[in-house]
Amino acid sequence: MKLVQNTPIKIREDYRFRRSKEVIHSMLDIKRKKESTEKPERTYFIWFLSLKLLLEMEKLGLGLQKRKEVLIIGKDIKIDKNYYKEWDLNEVLKLPFHKWWKTHKNLFEVPSTVEIAHPKGWTPKPHYRFLRVDIRNNFTKIMNDIRKELVDLKDNENEKVFKYGVSGESQYKNDVTRYNVMVRFLRGENDLDIFLCEKERFKGIHNVGGSGQLVYDDETGKKKGSKLWWYWNEWNQLSPAEKKVTMFKVRIEDRWDREEGKVLYEREVRSSARDTIKKFGSVLRDEVNRLTKDYQKILYGVSQGKFRKMVKF
């Protein structure tokens, strides 16, 4: 059984290539100022995708990898469906985000201050405070009075306004890349296919700060660059023939029957191309493994109603 409801998110070509970064950032800033939610809309987009993936994994009997053990969604790992009741989980699984968002955006909106025309419209609640304002006073007097009445709220930790709060800051590029890699992994794609399909996203998130991820010059000791991209460039320069695995037969005399020339096994032909292929494959495996492990922790947190918090399981 393969994933149907979850597919990798494509890079928006018009944003990526037809508009400058300055224009894109300006557009995002304008959009953000108009939004009425605690976090940017795309943050909830990733939360939605993560929950959608969990729901389909539950439906297909898939699970998260914990060392050598697979924890099945719905059996070993339960989705807190009571917490997500207002999300309408059937719609989460079947609808694209933009359609679902139209009818559920209100779940994430910041409560606004409103004017109540008549006292009959007052609805007493523990988190409401009603103030009477005499508008015959000037603006400065009114604002000073309001500040005095609300000064006790300063630095005071009240009950959370947002039921569906997000932990930490949004990491949209990283999270989309993790989601795409996880979806492709669950679809059975190999590391190279995953990399070739997600190469542009890998460029956007790869961190070259860790010493274990860098290549150094043997003579000068200076940094050459990221291992992933250094070995990718070397691999990419190989010819199609060099990329093919060449085997040769190893013939050893059998020590029991002394039959000379008996074939015991085959071995790869050693070459500089083979070493390049091995190095690139090893670094790429580490990177794919890191991304899927990180995203599995996010998924486990989402199953408990926590987003952007990596929870160990």
Task: Going residue by residue through the chain, which has 313 residues, state the pLDDT in tens, using 9 for 90 and above.
Answer: 689 999 999 886 544 455 555 555 565 556 555 667 888 889 999 999 999 999 999 999 999 988 889 999 999 999 999 999 999 999 999 999 999 999 999 898 876 677 777 777 777 777 778 888 888 899 998 888 888 888 887 776 555 566 888 887 778 889 999 999 999 999 999 999 999 999 988 887 755 444 457 766 666 666 777 888 888 999 999 888 888 766 666 665 554 554 555 555 666 666 778 888 889 999 999 999 999 999 999 999 999 999 987 888 7
Residue keyed to tokens 């987009």: 45
Closest CA to 56 of 211, 203, 183: 183
Q: Can you give the pLDDT at residue 115?
A: 74
Dihedral sign (CA 167, 35, 144, 126): negative
Q: Can you give the pLDDT at residue 165?
A: 85
What DSSP state is assigned to residue 244?
A: S
Q: Can you give the pLDDT at residue 210?
A: 46
Q: Can you give the pLDDT at residue 296?
A: 95
Measured distance CA(262)–CA(15) in Å, rounded: 62
Half-sphere exposure of 259 (CA within 13 A, CB side): 5
Residue type, 285: R
Tell me the two tokens of residue 117: 């025309």
Measured distance CA(230)–CA(233) in Å, rounded: 5
Measured distance CA(75)–CA(81) in Å, rounded: 14
Helix, strand, or coil (residue 90): helix
What DSSP state is assigned to residue 213?
A: G
Q: Can you give the pLDDT at residue 35?
A: 66
Measured distance CA(64)–CA(269) in Å, rounded: 37
25, with CB counted inside 10 A (0-12, 13-18, 19+), is exposed
Q: Can you give the pLDDT at residue 25?
A: 54
Q: Can you give the pLDDT at residue 212?
A: 52
